Amino acid sequence: LSACAQGGSTGGQQKELKVAILAPLSGPVPTFGVSTRDGALMAIDEWNAKGGVLGMKIVPIVEDSQCTPDPAVNAANKVIDQDGVKFIIGEVCSKASIPVSEIANAKGVIQISPTSTNEQVTVDANGNVKPYIFRACFIDPFQGFVGAKFATEQLGAKTAFVMLDQANDYVKGLATEFAKNFEMMGGKVVGTVSYTSTDTDFSVILGKIAEAKPDVVYLPDYYNIVNLVAKQAKEKGINVPFIGGDGWDSPDLDLAAAAGGYFTNHYSPDDPRPEVVNFLKAYGEKYKDESGNPKVPDALAALAYDAANVLLQAINDAGTTDTAKVKDTLEKITYKGVSGTITFDANHNPIKSAALLAVKPDGVKFETIVNP
Ligand code: PHE
């Protein structure tokens, strides 16, 4: 508060609060980056319109971290060491958020990933929480459970085939959680096959699926890979439903190819809660698509908006930008967000429900909500 008074008394030399946004604006999943940036910027703009936080104007620093460890680490070092940032929103992808978290935590910089669902983002290899690291989303043990429960109970699946990229922490973790839960629920995993993120021809794996005739295929990767696999599956006449996770959420998901599939997600724009309705309206007024129509925020936009808001609320409540105090405030906060209410458990993970969505040729439709 003294910063505010000083800023005012020295003739408009208002103090600034820098907040970094690490988002994959280029690389394999650019829609993730755009939505994340836009959701976080909208929250920051709203705070600035109300006078900022603790009398300071919030200055966003957006970096393209590419959903890839090295560029993400370089971006984190740049914002911390050169720009003097103490607060980071990002990254989106778990495999980029994990190495960033090591740096941020060691330097006492608060990092809130809006969307990284792998457990290792907030806990180290010994299972200890990283004090300065938080996230705004549920974690993959829950997401994998929800996918398995849906396959078992709603689709009546007894057998599943799992496809995964071993080099992607998110994909590997979610595939493992799905398989574990599916078998615990009485199902059988009849095949598990790996590919790499640079593969473009999936005919060998699809041949194995055609032979195994599973009731479902679990493909917990991002939309760019899902588009390739789903299209080739349709071309081969494979009609087994594909199930995936939040990584499918993109305006660039190939609906024609992925139709008949299902995925777990953090939020649905069809949710009638007033937080969602108001967010949709404000977002659509601020951001337009190429044809000038209001953009519909995806889960990444909603979670980035929530992550930025929960961070700024914590700084405001703490009454200081001292990150040791802000992290303590975050540990006790209750924030009613667009994606649900955020309170952090001992491992800095919010306990939140998941939405189950169905892909149809004309869009993604809300099916049901699953509570933890
Ligand atoms: N959960 C994914 C990860 O950890 C990121 C993601 C979240 C992608 C939400 C799309 C939507 O890598």
| Sequence-separated (6 or more) residues with CB below 8 Å from residue 9 | none
| Sequence-separated (6 or more) residues with CB below 8 Å from residue 3 | 15, 54, 55, 56
Q: How far is the CA of 17 from the centre of ligand 1 (A)?
A: 27
Buried b (16+ CB within 10 A) or exposed e, 9-27: eeeeebbebbbbbbbbbeb
Tell whether ligand 1 has an atom less than 6 A from the beta carbon of residue 80.
Answer: no
pLDDT single digits (tens) 61-79: 999 999 999 999 999 999 9
| Cβ atoms < 10 Å from Cβ of 361 | 10
**Mean pLDDT, rounded, for 87-113:** 98
Strands in the chain per DSSP E: 16-23, 57-64, 87-90, 110-113, 133-135, 159-165, 188-195, 216-218, 242-244, 262-265, 335-337, 340-342, 354-360, 363-370
**Mean pLDDT, rounded, for 297-317:** 98
For residue 333 the two structure tokens come to: 């906060």
Tell whether ligand 1 has an atom less than 6 A from the beta carbon of residue 115.
Answer: yes
pLDDT score of 7: 37
- The number of the ligand 1 atom at minimal distance from the alpha carbon of 143 is 1
Distance CA 208, CA 240 (A): 13
pLDDT score of 319: 98
pLDDT single digits (tens) 215-236: 999 999 999 999 999 999 999 9
pLDDT single digits (tens) 17-55: 999 999 999 999 999 999 999 999 999 999 999 999 999
Distance CA 12, CA 51 (A): 13
Distance CA 343, CA 257 (A): 38
Gyration radius of the chain over CA positions: 21
pLDDT score of 156: 98
Question: Could you tell me the pTM of the whole model?
Answer: 0.95
pLDDT score of 210: 98
- Backbone φ and ψ of 39, nearest 5°: -65, -45
User: Of 173, 32, 47, whose CA–CA distance to 113 is shortest?
Assistant: 32
Beta partners for residue 368, in sequence order: 356
| One-letter amino acid for residue 247 of the chain | G
- The number of the ligand 1 atom at minimal distance from the alpha carbon of 92 is 5
Tell whether ligand 1 has an atom less than 6 A from the beta carbon of residue 280.
Answer: no
Ligand 1: residue whose CA is nearest its atom 4: 116
Strands in 114-255 per DSSP E: 133-135, 159-165, 188-195, 216-218, 242-244
Residue 13's pLDDT band (cuts 50, 70, 90)? low
**Mean pLDDT, rounded, for 125-137:** 98
Helix (H) or strand (E) holding 211: helix 203-212
